[in-house]
Structure 1
Amino acid sequence: MALPLVVGVDGSDSSLQAVDWAVDEAARHELPLRLVHASRWERYEERLPSLSTSRSSGEIVAENIAASCLQRATLRNPEVKVSAEALAEDTVSALLHEGREAFAVVTGSHGRSELADTLLGSVSLAVAARSVSPVIVVRGAERNRQGAFGRVVLAVGDVAEGSAAIRFAFREARARDAELHAVRTWRRPAHPHGSQSLLIHEASTLVYEEQAATILNEVLDEVEREEGDKTVCHRDVIEGPAHRVLQDVSEQADLLVVGSLHRRDRSGLQLGRVSHAVLHRAACPVAVVPQRP
């Protein structure tokens, strides 16, 4: 049985965009869709007498949000199997729990309680940083969310991040019939000292670029050999800070995939600087794919 695609919903515009995106994603991969609205509504209202059979207003609101999102998903694609549930739980904890047995967890970039100028909602950030399954934060302009570019971008970072993100990106490109653009960045060394000739400096610069290309080719070749993948994959080695390069290339991408190494001996948020930056700034949906040692 296929694992579900789990979506965190709260009725905000951002979460509705996440629902639309997730319906299309579920259809591409032939997955069931599970909509989850989690809220500790009992914390914010007086408890009713124990003998009362009436439901609290918070519970009713939560169920209405879940039901309306279910209706929206069904109208978008009636062929996708959709279920919805309202849970009286902390939102982050609920989505992390649901994500343990999920294809991926999908969230919007902002929640109902987030300030308008917040770059990324606290719930989305916490889930992306701690989930054991891939997390997709739906952000960016409509054309990026709708897949107008036919391009999936894969950020190839440290080798320690493993191949989980690479395999995820190949799978997404296949499902979308899109091109895959694998990007590895590199940085030019500092300006030469007075005792170092310009020729030597340029030679050392070339070494940095070649090292980046070698790493890029090695990790991609391994996955392609193991899976016999025939996806069209462009390999780009680009000079510059990784977060800025990825922000630029995301402007013409349908999805940006980054890896994240989760260590069992560490607790709390486990996002690298690059993943953290693109979650806040990317111009398209971002998938954070954990690599568990």
Structure 2
Amino acid sequence: MAVPLVVGIDGSEASLEAVEWAADEAARHEVPLRLLHAASADHDVSDVVAAASERARKSAAAVWLSNEVLTEDAASALVSEGRNAFALVLGSRGLGGLAGLLLGSVSLAVAARADCPVVVVRGGVEQRHGGFGCVVVGVEDGEGSGTAVDFAFREARVRRCRLLAVHAWSVPVGNPGPPGLSGYALQALERPPAQVLADALREPEQRYQDVPVSREVVEGSARQALLNAASRADLLVVGARRRHGHVGLQLGLVNHAVLHHAPCPVAVVPQI
């Protein structure tokens, strides 16, 4: 049997929205869906599991569904499940978070530690249910975006929608360049921003020729460029690099920003 798509449940409305999204995702990719509840204290969670199962069935009745209840720290349990999962799906808020937090602590911890893609389900009904027909992927210079770009192409194909690849750049502070040279021209002396996109997309475009692709090069903040693009997207995909000498991923300031503020679901995809 295919590895499952795992969704964390805790009884909150955000986790039930994540279940709906995950059920649709499992149906698109034809993989099983596993509902996972984990908590340090042992207590009756039959109502939580029943409510989540009902939401999953309503969204995608044909998906093979299972559930698991663990007496364990939620973040650790989800990270462990992610070692043999298609992806992990989480709500943007949990039951235990402070009212002012924009992202639950479990979701952030899992996004920073998991070995598989982690999707934090954010946004309104239109964003969560494919109302825009667009997947956005952030592309950075270097090798940090390769797996994320592949993931984004695959998502665009199964959704039968377009892909928007966004690359933001800025001139390094303290490096003004020769007099009279524009910022874009200075960047082009090293590697033209458009070339960064072209290099990142060349191979996956050959594999996914049925996916319509558009490109957006932005001079300025990567955070703002991605949040702007996400305002008209069903899914925002970003990459995460491994940290040398440490367990977990390098989420970075941009990933933290989109996880907290994006108006649509966000997928954090580890670089392989």
TM-score interval, smaller chain:
over 0.9
Find the aligned partners of 1:83 and 1:12 in 2 and give their Cα distance: 19
What is the RMSD of the two structures over their aligned residues, measured on CA atoms?
Answer: 2.0
Matching of residues 101-112 of structure 1 within 5 Å? 101-112=84-95
Tell me which residue corresponds to 1:265.
245
| Aligned AA (1:26) | A
CA-to-partner distance for each residue in 1:97-125, whole Å, 9 max, x for gaps? 11111110000001001122211110000
Point out 4+ residue stretches in structure 1 off by more than 2 angstroms: 188-193, 204-210, 222-225, 227-230, 267-270
- Cα distance, 1:240 vs. partner? 1.5
Matching of residues 143-154 of structure 1 within 5 Å? 143-154=126-137
Find the aligned partners of 1:77 and 1:214 in 2 and give their Cα distance: 41
Find the aligned partners of 1:91 and 1:104 in 2 and give their Cα distance: 16
Picking from 170, 183, 187, the partner of 1:187 is 170
Unaligned runs of at least 5 residues, structure 2: none
Find the aligned partners of 2:143 and 2:171 in 1 and give their Cα distance: 22
Stretch of structure 1 that moved more, 130-139 or 69-78: 69-78
- Cα distance, 1:196 vs. partner? 6.5
**8 A contact 1:3–1:103 mirrored in 2:** yes
Tell me how many residue pairs correspond in the alignment: 270
Tell me which residue corresponds to 2:28.
28
Stretch of structure 1 that moved more, 256-265 or 13-22: 256-265
Tell me which residue corresponds to 2:263.
283
Matching of residues 38-49 of structure 1 within 5 Å? 38-42=38-42
Find the aligned partners of 1:79 and 1:134 in 2 and give their Cα distance: 23
- Structure 2 CA distance for partners of 1:141 and 1:75, relative to 1, 3 Å: closer
| Aligned AA (1:287) | A
Picking from 58, 79, 89, the partner of 2:72 is 89
**8 A contact 1:258–1:287 mirrored in 2:** yes
- Cα distance, 1:40 vs. partner? 1.3
**8 A contact 2:38–2:71 mirrored in 1:** yes
| Aligned AA (1:114) | G
- Structure 2 CA distance for partners of 1:39 and 1:234, relative to 1, 3 Å: same
The alignment's TM-score, normalised by the length of structure 2, stands at 0.93
Find the aligned partners of 2:110 and 2:216 in 1 and give their Cα distance: 30
Find the aligned partners of 2:149 and 2:249 in 1 and give their Cα distance: 22
Tell me which residue corresponds to 1:141.
124
Find the aligned partners of 2:178 and 2:63 in 1 and give their Cα distance: 64
Find the aligned partners of 1:131 and 1:192 in 2 and give their Cα distance: 37
Tell me which residue corresponds to 1:208.
187
- Structure 2 residue 210 is matched with structure 1 residue 224: no
SS at match of 2:233: coil
- Structure 2 residue 228 is matched with structure 1 residue 248: yes
Q: Radius of gyration: which is bigger? A: 1
- Structure 2 CA distance for partners of 1:107 and 1:126, relative to 1, 3 Å: same
Find the aligned partners of 2:250 and 2:47 in 1 and give their Cα distance: 34
**8 A contact 2:137–2:149 mirrored in 1:** yes
**8 A contact 2:166–2:218 mirrored in 1:** yes
Find the aligned partners of 1:154 and 1:101 in 2 and give their Cα distance: 24
- Structure 2 CA distance for partners of 1:254 and 1:189, relative to 1, 3 Å: same
Tell me which residue corresponds to 2:218.
238
Stretch of structure 1 that moved more, 181-190 or 275-284: 181-190
Picking from 148, 164, 171, the partner of 1:165 is 148
Unaligned runs of at least 5 residues, structure 1: 43-57
Find the aligned partners of 1:208 and 1:288 in 2 and give their Cα distance: 27
**8 A contact 1:173–1:179 mirrored in 2:** yes
